[in-house]
Amino acid sequence: MINVLIVEDSSITRDMIVRKLSENKDFSVFTAIENAANAEIVCMSGSIDLILMDVCTADDESGLKAAMKIKTLYPEIKIILMTSMPEYSFLTRAIEGGIDSFWYKEYGDVDLLEICVRTMSGQRVFPEQRPSIRIGLSESGTFTDREYEIIRELALGNKYGEIAAHLGITENTVKYHVKNIMSKTGCKNTVALVAEVVEKRLVLPKY
Amino acid sequence: MRPNKKAALYRSIKEAIDSYPGGLCFSAEGGRPILVNKKMNTLIWALTGHTVLNADIMWKEISAVTSKGGCTRINEPWFELDKQADDKDSLIFRFPDESIWHFRRQLLSDDSIDTIQTEATEITELFDVSRELYKNNLILDELKKRQQALLENIVEINRDKELLVAKMRIHDELGRCIVAAKKFLTTQDATESEYDTLLKSWSEATSDMRSVPLQGITTPGEEELDRVADLVGCRIKYTGKMPEPRRVRLLIYSSIREALTNAVRHGGANEIMVDIADTSSSYRVVISNNGRQPITKITEGGGIKNLRKLLEQEGATLTLRYNSFALDINIPA
């Protein structure tokens, strides 16, 4: 029997996951919680084999950060990160952080139960691509990693000088990237750009 | 110098400064005018009703003008021309033709003589551009505030969207159930398997419906903490009232979590005591446990360091009581 911890603050999604897991007799829901920061305590019980972890959880706690910590403390526990957010960095950070699998709740075409089974058999299952979101005149897939970093810094309200210092580049390079982003999207200014990427949940600096 | 040559020199200087587009006035001690150009006299006429007779008196007179003969004094806090200049030596007026002029007075000094130079410069364009910039900055500030608010609430907004999508899905599901039930009831030869499928569909649809009112209602922090603590054989005992402000509660939950993890992992504790006391200015929270006491002095690990950082960001302080391994926290109200 595979004991599962569900970390999900949406009751509807939680119920849907419980129902989905009940279709396979190998899985048993040990408990379901809403706050990712409490997951580590549940793992201390020594009863958890698999965690289905939402990224944005109750009290603004990041499931991604909690999952990476648990993976360090309990590497034997398998973790599947789940999100309904198309945020650009979640997938990369999950892969780099050693998370076993990743599931886009709204955008994926792979069944959750199938991901659970494959993950427990030792596979790492990740979506082949991120969801494509339209930002102004451009698709989200056309931004480079550096451009995403710049957009993220802008969303945090940082000025060009601060962005340059954070990313270890010159202010002129920041301006060059911003110019390219504006040209791709057709946004009139950085405020309009940030409003759109945040509204479409492509950048969520809190998590 | 012969008198006619001196007069010619004076005329040529006068002609030169009269051709200057701004106003100029040089005066000696006591305000006696030495040289005043036409533009300055024209501007001063508009402000006082006479030309420059005495530069000191002229400055006093225009300093007292707030509105006169269609001229108005401009004193906008957002418009700062010269940070170095003393406020009393710098004045701005709008004239009836909508032009804006900056009057500035300064001492020109050399070893032998002190001269006061009063200068008037047209700044209409600069003023209009600055006003536009100020307005744009206000709009940007407002947009920035909205952007921050959006950032803060975007996940919450997303939950509302998820709920709407879920409601639509349930609506569709119920529709399908009703159609299937009608078909089942009107069909004579329905099988047991069809009945089971129909029952399962209804059961799932009604289960989803029961979840809808619960959506958005989160479990109070203490309740979930109590539950997960119970899973590792630990009980949390509270003394005092949990503060109302969410910011304070979240800091307390984070502290309890850290204390609980350490006490259970390193001390085998099965009881965590949370003592909350509030004064008008702060909340004091002491979190202790009944686990084994540390034999040697504890070094601060990543967890405590992160907690300290989190607390300090909110202006709170953390003291570790090493003898009992209790966390003593002070959070400003």
| Interatomic CA distance for residues B175 and B164, integer angstroms | 17
Class of domain A2-120: alpha beta
**pLDDT value of residue B218:** 59
Checking if the pLDDT of A27 tops 70, the result is yes
Distance from CA of B216 to the nearest CA of A (A): 7
Residue B308 φ/ψ region, left for φ over 0, alpha for ψ in the -120 to 50 degree band, beta for the rest: alpha
Which residues on chain B are in Cβ contact (under 8 Å) with A58? Answer: 218-219, 224
- Whole-number pLDDT of residue B288: 92
Q: Please tell me what DSSP assigns to residue A62.
A: B
Please give the sequence-ordered ranges of beta strands (E in DSSP) within B57-135, or none if there are none. Answer: 67-68, 71-73, 90-94, 100-109, 114-122
Q: Does B229 touch chain A if contact means CB atoms closer than 8 Å?
A: yes
| Contact map slice: B 15-74 vs A, CB within 8 A | none
**Cβ contacts from A onto B, under 8 A:** 108
Phi-psi region of B30 (alpha: psi -120 to 50; beta: other; left: phi over 0): left
Domain range A134-199, CATH class: mainly alpha
From A9, A40, A206, residue closest to B151, measured CB to CB: A206
pLDDT of residue A14: 87
Do B271 and B226 touch, CB atoms closer than 8 A?
Answer: no
SS3 A51: strand
Query: What is the torsional sign of CA A23, B211, B173, B190?
Result: positive
Q: Which long-range contacts (CB under 8 A, 24 or more apart) does B179-184 make?
A: none
Beta carbons of B228 and A41 less than 8 Å apart: yes
Tell me how crowded residue B123 is: count the other CB atoms within 10 A of its CB: 18
Kindly list the strands in the beta sheet with B71-73, ordered across the sheet, starting from the edge strand earlier in the chain: B33-36, B23-27, B114-122, B100-109, B90-94, B71-73, B67-68
ipTM: 0.82
Flag whether residue B224 sits within 8 Å of chain A, measured between CB atoms. Answer: yes
Q: Assign residue B143 a region: left if phi > 0, alpha if psi is -120 to 50, beta otherwise?
A: alpha
Every domain of chain A with CATH number 3.40.50.2300 lies at 2-120
Q: pLDDT of A157-201, one tens digit each?
A: 888 999 999 999 999 999 999 999 999 999 988 888 988 888 888
Best residue of A3, A10, A12 to probe chain B, by most B CBs closer than 10 Å: A12
Residue of A nearest to B211 (CA): A12
Contact A198/B140, CB-based, under 8 Å? no
- In chain B, residues with a C-beta closer than 8 Å to the C-beta of A44 are 232, 261, 264-265
pLDDT of residue B216: 55
Chain centre to alpha carbon of residue A28: 25
Give the pLDDT confidence score for residue A88 in this predicted structure: 86
pLDDT, averaged per 10 consecutive residues of chain B (333 residues), comes to 75 86 91 93 94 94 91 86 72 94 89 87 92 86 74 68 70 77 77 79 72 60 92 94 90 94 90 91 92 72 86 91 82 90
Return the closest-CA partner of residue A80 out of A49, A59, A46, A43: A49
Give residue-wise pLDDT tens across range A37-47.
Answer: 999 999 999 99
The closest alpha carbon to B287, from B317, B257, B265, belongs to B257
Task: Check residue B90 and report its DSSP letter.
Answer: E
CATH 3.30.565.10 fits B221-332, yes or no: yes
Give tens-digit pLDDT for A58-68: 888 999 999 99
For an interface test with A, the pick among B151, B254, B270 (most A C-beta atoms closer than 10 Å) comes out as: B151
Q: Do A19 and B215 touch (CB under 8 A)?
A: no
Per-residue model confidence (pLDDT) at position B11: 83
Closest residue, chain B, to A69 (C-alpha): B303
Angle of helix B55-64 versus helix B38-48 axis, rounded to 10:
50
Residues of A engaging B, defined by a Cβ cutoff of 8 Å: 9-16, 19, 31, 33-35, 37-38, 40-42, 44-45, 47, 56, 58-60, 84-85, 106, 155, 157, 191, 194-195, 198-199, 201, 204-206
Q: Which residues of B fall within a CB distance of 8 Å from A6?
A: none
> What pLDDT is attached to residue B162?
67
Q: Which of A10, A155, A191 sits opposite B151 (nearest CB)?
A: A155
B159 touches chain A (CB under 8 A): yes
Give the per-residue pLDDT at A109.
Answer: 66
Helix ranges, chain B (H): 3-18, 38-48, 55-64, 124-186, 192-211, 221-231, 246-267, 302-313
**A34 and B150 in contact by Cβ < 8 A?**
no
Alpha carbon of A33: minimum distance to chain B alpha carbons (Å): 7
The CA distance from B98 to B128, in Å, is: 11
Of B154, B218, B250, the CB nearest to A201: B154
**Spatial CA neighbour of A130 closest among A80, A188, A174, A91:** A91
Does residue B182 sit at the A interface (CB-CB below 8 Å)? no
Q: How big is chain B, counted in residues? A: 333
A68-89 per-position pLDDT tens digit: 999 999 999 999 999 988 888 8
pLDDT given at position B304:
87
C-alpha span between A12 and B243 (Å, rounded): 30
User: Largest Cα–Cα distance of chain B, in whole Å?
Assistant: 134
- Residue spans of beta strands (DSSP E) within chain A: 2-7, 27-33, 50-54, 78-83, 101-104, 134-135, 138-139
| DSSP assigned state of A112 | H
For residue A68, the one-letter residue type is: M
Task: Check if CATH label 3.30.450 holds for domain B3-78+86-122.
Answer: yes
CB contacts, 8 Å: A15 with chain B: 207-208, 211
All structural domains of chain B with their residue ranges: 3-78+86-122, 132-214, 221-332
Q: CA A137, CA A141: separation in Å to the nearest integer?
A: 12
Contact A59 B250 (CB under 8 A): yes
User: Could you tell me the pLDDT band of residue A117, with boundaries at 50, 70 and 90?
Assistant: very high
Tell me, what's the pLDDT at B48? 93
Nearest to A38 among B144, B165, B257 (CB): B257
Mean pLDDT of A95-103: 94
